[in-house]
Amino acid sequence: MTYLYNKTALVTGASSGIGYEIVKYISQFDMRIIVSARREENLKKLKDEIESNSKSTVLILIKDLSDPKSPQEIYNYCKEKNLSIDFLVNNAGYGFTEDFDTYDLEKLDDFLNVLMNSLVKLTRLFIQDMKVRKSGKILQVSSIAGIIPSGSGAIGIYGNIKNFVNEFTITLNSTYKKHNVHTCALCPGFTETGFNKRAGFKMQYSDVPSLFLMSGKDVAKQGVDACLNGKEIFVVRGGFNRTMIFISKFIPNKILRFLFGKAVDFGK
Ligand SMILES: NC(=O)c1ccc[n+]([C@@H]2O[C@H](COP(=O)([O-])OP(=O)(O)OC[C@H]3O[C@@H](n4cnc5c(N)ncnc54)[C@H](OP(=O)(O)O)[C@@H]3O)[C@@H](O)[C@H]2O)c1
């Protein structure tokens, strides 16, 4: 756990949910933490909270990751400020519930930029320096939707991208392990954050049996610890997550897709 002490982290999507909790969790290690997202008010609140309760310092960087130029701008900002990133957390993301075939193309572009392209670009930009320094850790916030076939509509496509994130993680480790750079894909299940509202689900978290639901705080702690402990694809414990993965091994994918598709339709 000592790896993070006095080091520098960059966390995307830090303005709410899992990202917000990751920043709070790592602040115990006297770090410099660059927090990025679009909602400045939330990031200011986070900065105040961290700086009055820990020895960590927080730098706010407002960036919209749907803009394809943002990853390079984030990297340039770090370079200008002489900040070497020791811990990169690619967390920003969202889902959508509209039908894929009528989903606006510009909105689709934004979605792909936030959920996938920015993650790949930020990894590419920061891993070059980690490789030279022979030290670095990357936490990719993925999902169990990247492991279990997750429906046939929009959430299915979200799952396809998270599946790519998991495979990308394995590729990175096979390439950069020898340079002492480790990447972990964190796979949470249903977690109480701003995700549902942003995706357009009408179902409230209070409608979900607590057995299925995790808190962002628990997910954040488990995810950071897993990354520091060298885990590659880490499925969050609790919230029925691992049981779902286990059960899914005995059910044909076609049936799983049908069942998850129905569950998503029910939540819309
Ligand atoms: N909640 C779940 O059940 C669940 C399960 C598995 C995986 N995940 C994954 O967990 C990650 C975090 O989501 P969450 O559940 O914590 O949801 P959340 O509370 O809605 O947080 C999403 C974060 O992503 C940021 N973001 C969204 N669009 C952005 C954009 N265009 N540019 C920059 N930042 C943007 C948001 O910041 P701004 O809006 O301020 O820009 C926010 O900080 C996502 O990758 C999600 O796929 C969530």
Mutate to test the pocket of ligand 1, among 25, 193, 210 (most ligand atoms within 8 A of CB): 193
| Per-residue model confidence as pLDDT tens digits over 200-220 | 888 888 888 888 899 999 999
- State the amino acid at position 170 in one-letter form: I
Cβ count near 252 (within 10 Å): 10
pLDDT at 185: 98
10 Å CB burial of residue 200 (0-12, 13-18, 19+) is middle
Q: Which atom of ligand 1 is nearest to the CA of 196?
A: 1
For ligand 1, atom 41, the nearest C-alpha belongs to 38
User: Nearest to residue 56, comparing CAs of 22, 80, 89, 82?
Assistant: 22
Q: Compute the distance from residue 252 Cα to the ligand 1 centre, in Å.
A: 30
pLDDT per residue rounded down to tens, the chain (268 residues): 589 999 999 999 999 999 999 999 999 999 999 999 999 999 999 999 999 999 999 999 999 999 999 999 999 999 999 999 999 999 999 999 888 888 999 999 999 999 999 999 999 999 999 999 999 999 999 999 999 887 666 778 999 999 999 999 999 999 999 999 999 999 999 999 999 999 888 888 888 888 889 999 999 999 999 999 999 999 999 988 998 898 888 888 888 888 877 777 766 7
Give me the sheet containing 57-62, strands edge to edge: 57-62, 32-37, 8-12, 87-90, 136-141, 181-187, 233-235
Q: In the chain, what are the domain boundaries? A: 2-267
Q: How many angstroms is it from 11 CA to the middle of ligand 1?
A: 11
Residue 66 CA: nearest ligand 1 atom is 31
Q: Is 200 in the pocket of ligand 1 (CB under 6 A)?
A: no
**Alpha-helical runs (H) found in the chain:** 17-26, 40-53, 70-80, 105-112, 118-133, 154-176, 195-199, 216-228, 241-248, 253-267
Ligand 1 pocket, residue 64 CB under 6 Å:
yes
Does the beta carbon of 141 sit less than 6 angstroms from any atom of ligand 1?
yes
Q: What is the pLDDT of residues 120-136, one digit of tens each?
A: 999 999 999 999 999 99
Quick one: which atom of ligand 1 is closest to the CA of 15?
43
Ligand 1 pocket, 217 CB below 6 A? no
Ligand 1 within 6 A of CB of 70: no
pTM score: 0.96
Tokens matching residue 168: 């990308």
Domain 2-267 has CATH 3.40.50.720: yes
**Most informative mutation of 10, 18, 47 for ligand 1 (most atoms within 8 A of CB):** 18
User: What is the per-residue pLDDT across 172-209, written as a single tens digit (0 to 9) for each?
Assistant: 999 999 999 999 999 999 999 999 999 888 888 888 88
Check the CA dihedral 6-179-186-92 and report its sign.
positive
